C-alpha cells in the first residue's frame, strides 16, 4: 500500500476524478462534482510537477476539494433570485384571504369547503353547511378558516 501511495501518478488522480464525475451523473446531488474536479486538478498538478510527494498530493486534494465546494456554495447563494411567482408550486396558497361556502359542516373543528370544482379539508370554528368562511392560513393540504 505504501509503495502504491509513493508512486501515485497523474493518471491515478485523473482516474479518481473521472470515477467521481461518473458517480455524480447517477444522482449525488452535486456533492461528488467538486470533489471530482479537485481530483482532476491534483492530476493536472501532478502532471506539471511529477516529483510531488503523496503527502502534498493528498493535502492539495483536500484543499482543492474545500475550495471548490466553498466557491460553488458562495456562487449559489449569490445567484438566488426572488421569484416573480412566489406561490408557484404551493397549491392552495392563492386561497388565503378568499371566501368560500362550507360543503360539509365543520364539526369538532373539521370540515370541507368547495373551491372551484374541488373540495378542501378545513379546520376552524364549527359551522353548518352553506355558511361562508374565509381562509386564513394553509397547513399542507388543510386550510384554516374563520366564519365570515
Average pLDDT score over the chain: 88
DSSP string, 90-142: -TTGGGTT-EEEEEEEEETTEEEEEETTEEEEEESS-B-TT-EEEEEEEETTE
Q: Are residues 67 and 105 in the same domain?
A: no
pLDDT at 86: 66
- Indicate whether 65 and 132 sit together in one domain: no
Contact call for residues 102 and 113 (beta carbons, < 8 A) = yes
Same domain for 68 and 7: yes
Does residue 19 belong to any structural domain of this protein?
yes
Q: Compute the chain's Rg from CA coordinates.
A: 29
pLDDT digits (tens, 9 = 90+) for 36-68: 999 999 999 999 998 888 899 999 999 999 999
The verdict on residue 142 lying in a domain is: yes
Would you say residue 87 lies in a domain?
Answer: no
- CATH number of the domain where residue 135 is located: 2.40.50.140
Is the domain of 98 the same as that of 41?
no
Tell whether 97 and 70 lie within a shared domain: no
**30 pLDDT more than 90:** no
Name the pTM for this structure: 0.52
Residue 5 has pLDDT above 70, yes or no: no
Cα(113)–Cα(31) distance, rounded to whole angstroms?
45
64 in the same domain as 23: yes
pLDDT, tens only, 72-99: 888 878 776 777 776 667 777 889 999 9
CA distance 148 to 99: 8
Strand partners, 132: 101
Q: Are residues 27 and 66 in the same domain?
A: yes
Domain that includes residue 122, residue range? 93-147
Asked if 106 and 75 sit in the same domain, the reply is no
Q: How many domains does the chain have?
A: 2
The total number of residues written for the chain in this structure = 148
Amino acid at each position: 500500500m505504501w509503495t502504491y501511495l509513493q508512486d501515485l501518478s497523474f493518471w491515478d488522480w485523473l482516474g479518481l476524478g473521472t470515477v467521481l464525475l461518473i458517480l455524480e451523473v447517477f444522482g449525488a446531488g452535486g456533492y461528488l462534482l467538486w470533489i471530482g474536479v479537485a481530483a482532476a486538478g491534483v492530476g493536472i498538478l501532478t502532471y506539471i510537477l511529477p516529483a510531488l510527494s503523496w503527502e502534498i498530493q493528498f493535502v492539495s486534494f483536500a484543499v482543492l476539494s474545500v475550495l471548490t465546494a466553498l466557491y460553488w456554495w458562495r456562487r449559489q447563494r449569490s445567484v438566488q433570485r426572488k421569484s416573480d411567482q412566489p406561490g408557484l408550486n404551493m397549491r392552495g396558497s392563492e386561497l388565503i384571504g378568499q371566501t368560500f361556502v362550507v360543503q360539509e359542516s365543520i364539526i369538532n373543528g373539521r370540515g370541507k369547503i368547495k373551491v372551484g370544482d374541488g373540495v378542501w379539508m378545513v379546520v376552524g370554528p364549527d359551522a353548518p353547511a352553506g355558511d361562508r368562511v374565509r381562509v386564513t392560513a394553509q397547513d399542507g393540504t388543510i386550510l384554516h378558516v374563520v366564519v365570515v
